[in-house]
């Protein structure tokens, strides 16, 4: 399963799969503000990437990372060069600033990727697991923020969303189609 959309010569693509399998310059972790590790994507990245990732984030970011922001580290044993640890919001009621925080988490990841010379970046569906953000609302923000970023920047060349279930994939595909159909 895969689907793509070209914006300004760069590609947004959707794949069904595991974020830790992605052969890209940077993979995004769905982290928490303490950068303490956890379940879901975070657990998978630290398990497959090995202990050097946590050792580095502890050393470089002892105060963690605020919600709506992101920090970067090397990627240990993963095939990516970098892991960008993004902290999405916990879903409350949708009126507690969640959309702006989710958008800024994506924006920060893309800015860090550009600053570090990344040509490709893979995102999971940040906040839609343990943090309970509704997938359709998260997809609209993730895709919308990415498309806007590509309109304004000439890199990265590839922004990939890696969806873990067919249902999440279909929801992201609907969001992607809604921006591609005039």
The residues carrying an active-site annotation are 42
Cβ atoms of 18 and 162 within 8 Å: the answer is yes
* Shortest separation between residue 31's beta carbon and ligand AR6, angstroms: 6
**Which residue, 38 or 155, has its beta carbon nearer to ligand AR6?**
38
Task: Evaluate the CA torsion angle 136, 129, 102, 153 in order and state its sign.
Answer: negative
Phi, psi of 73 (to 5 degrees): -140, 175
Q: Which residues bind ligand AR6 (CB under 6 A)?
A: 18-20, 30-32, 37-42, 44, 88, 124-131, 162, 164, 168
**Which residue, 6 or 39, has its beta carbon nearer to ligand AR6?**
39
Q: Give the start-end residues of each E strand in the chain.
A: 2-7, 10-16, 26-30, 70-74, 82-86, 120-123, 158-163
**Which residue, 82 or 131, has its beta carbon nearer to ligand AR6?**
131
Residue 39: burial class (beta carbons within 10 Å; 0-12, 13-18, 19+):
exposed
């Amino acid at each position: 399963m895969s689907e793509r959309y070209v914006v300004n010569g760069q590609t947004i693509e959707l794949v069904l799969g595991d974020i830790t399998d992605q052969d890209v310059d940077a993979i995004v972790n769905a982290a928490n503000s303490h950068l303490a590790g956890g379940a879901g994507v975070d657990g998978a990245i630290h398990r497959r990437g090995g202990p050097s990732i946590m050792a580095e984030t502890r050393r470089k970011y002892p105060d963690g990372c605020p919600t709506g922001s992101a920090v970067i580290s090397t990627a240990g044993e993963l095939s990516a060069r970098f892991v960008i640890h993004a902290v999405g919001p916990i879903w409350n009621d949708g009126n507690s600033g969640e959309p702006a925080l989710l958008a800024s988490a994506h924006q920060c990841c893309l800015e860090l990727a550009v600053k570090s010379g990344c040509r490709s970046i893979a995102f999971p569906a940040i906040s839609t697991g343990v943090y309970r953000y509704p997938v359709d609302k998260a997809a609209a923000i993730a895709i919308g923020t990415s498309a806007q970023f590509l309109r304004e920047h000439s890199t990265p060349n590839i922004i990939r969303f890696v969806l873990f279930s067919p249902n999440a994939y279909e929801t992201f595909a609907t969001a992607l189609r809604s921006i591609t159909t005039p």
